[in-house]
Amino acid sequence: MGLTKTVTLIAFLALANASIEAYAGTTGMISGYVYSQHMDGSGRAPAPGATVRLVMPYNLTSVYRATKADARGFFSLVSVVPGNYWVYPSKEKWSRDCPAAATVFANQTTTVSLTLLPMREADRVFGKGGCLAPRP
Query: Which tens digit of pLDDT belongs to each residue from 101-136?
Result: 999 999 999 999 998 877 665 555 555 555 544 443
Distance, CA of 5 to CA of 61 (rounded, Å)? 51
- Per CATH, the homologous superfamily of domain 27-126 is Carboxypeptidase-like, regulatory domain (2.60.40.1120)
Report CA torsion sign: 99, 78, 110, 26. negative
Q: What is the DSSP code (8-state) at residue 57?
A: T
pLDDT at residue 3 in the model: 52
State how far the alpha carbon of 132 is from the alpha carbons of 8, 32, 37, 47, 91, in Å: 59, 16, 10, 15, 14
- For the chain, which residues make up each domain, given as ranges? 27-126
pLDDT at residue 104 in the model: 96
Query: Which tens digit of pLDDT belongs to each residue from 1-51?
Result: 555 544 444 444 444 444 344 455 799 999 999 998 776 667 789 999 999
Amino acid present at 8 = T
